[in-house]
């Protein structure tokens, strides 16, 4: 199946097979409860791994082997790694334990579980899971977002069924089809159906305000 990367779908291949991932509303519910979905998002995005990788590329043009070895150690950002495993598995219909690894009961008394590595580096698990869950619950559509719709308030739950119901109402689609939408897909469909929204985006508002004060300053300078 060919992935539509614009809405968050992806295919990851190893030597044996291809794995298809879709961050749909239905698959977001497989991550856990509405609160658990937000918790996994937070665990993935509070990890230092993406920041370190980005800084290394800016500084060296590539990621040094020593840094990869540090990031790929199970003890580094373990919460983010395990959150990434959960998100990736939720977005794929196939068992991906060979790809991302798995937790197994420990035969020793020190730990309850041990992490058995898969074929994918743990740094990739975090970065790819970040992309999937962002397309799934935040959306990455490049559409005009009016200032009045912006909010900095923290939401501690993601209720996928509310978006599924909204998609059915707005776009007159059956539930099975609405469940397969990603948030990016939902945003694009919404922008297509309601294209002529009046108002300013945050950037447009700031530019208009700057222009107004610049004109006012010129007018005052002339009158003075």
Of 136, 132, 177, 188, the C-alpha closest to 11 is: 132
Read off the pLDDT of residues 33-66 as tens digits, 9 standing for 90 and up: 999 999 999 988 876 766 777 777 888 787 777 7
User: Residue range 1-27: average pLDDT?
Assistant: 93
Q: Are 49 and 77 in contact (CB under 8 A)?
A: yes
Distance CA 102, CA 82 (A): 9
Read off the pLDDT of residues 116-131 as tens digits, 9 standing for 90 and up: 888 998 889 998 999 9
Residue ranges covered by each domain of the chain? 5-144+153-193
The segment with the largest mean pLDDT, out of 2-11, 38-47, 61-70, 198-207, is 2-11
Please give the model's pTM, rounded to 2 decimal places.
0.75
Residue with tokens 């107004």: 212
Distance CA 201, CA 203 (A): 5
3-state secondary structure of 69: helix
User: Residue range 25-35: average pLDDT?
Assistant: 97
Read off the pLDDT of residues 118-173 as tens digits, 9 standing for 90 and up: 899 888 999 899 999 999 999 998 865 544 445 555 678 999 999 999 999 989 99
- Name the DSSP class of 33: S
3-state secondary structure of 11: strand
* DSSP line for 74-128: TTTTHHHHHHHHHHHHHT-SS--HHHH-EEEE-SSSS-SEEEEP-SS-HHHHHHH
> What pLDDT is stored for residue 205 in this prediction?
44
Residue 115: phi and psi, rounded to 5, are: -95, 120
3-state secondary structure of 180: coil
| Helix ranges restricted to H, the chain | 25-29, 34-45, 49-60, 65-71, 78-90, 97-100, 122-137, 160-171, 175-179, 183-193, 202-223
What are the angstrom distances between the C-alpha of 6 and each of 2, 28, 105, 149, 195? 12, 18, 39, 23, 19
Residue with tokens 């945050």: 202
**Which residues 6+ apart lie within 8 Å of 68 measured at CB?**
121, 123
């Amino acid at each position: 199946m060919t992935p539509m990367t614009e809405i968050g779908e992806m295919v990851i291949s190893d030597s044996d097979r291809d794995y298809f991932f879709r961050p749909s509303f239905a698959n977001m519910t497989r991550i856990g409860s509405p609160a658990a979905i937000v918790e996994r998002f937070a665990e993935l995005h509070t990890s230092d791994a993406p920041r370190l990788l980005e800084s290394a590329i800016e500084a060296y043009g590539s990621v040094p082997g020593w840094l990869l070895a540090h990031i790929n150690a199970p003890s580094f950002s373990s919460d983010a790694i395990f959150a990434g495993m959960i998100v990736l598995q939720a977005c794929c219909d196939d068992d991906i334990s060979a790809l991302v690894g798995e937790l197994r009961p420990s035969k020793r008394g020190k730990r309850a579980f041990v992490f058995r590595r898969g074929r994918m580096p743990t740094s990739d698990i975090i970065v790819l899971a970040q992309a999937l869950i962002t397309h799934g619950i935040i959306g990455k559509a490049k559409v005009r977002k009016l200032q009045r719709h912006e909010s900095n308030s923290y939401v501690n739950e993601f209720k996928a069924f509310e978006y599924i119901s909204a998609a059915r109402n707005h776009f007159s689609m059956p539930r099975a089809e609405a469940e397969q939408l990603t948030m990016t897909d939902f945003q694009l469909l919404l922008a297509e159906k309601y294209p002529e929204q009046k108002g300013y985006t945050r950037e447009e508002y700031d530019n208009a305000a700057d222009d107004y004060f610049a004109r006012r300053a010129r007018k005052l300078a002339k009158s003075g």
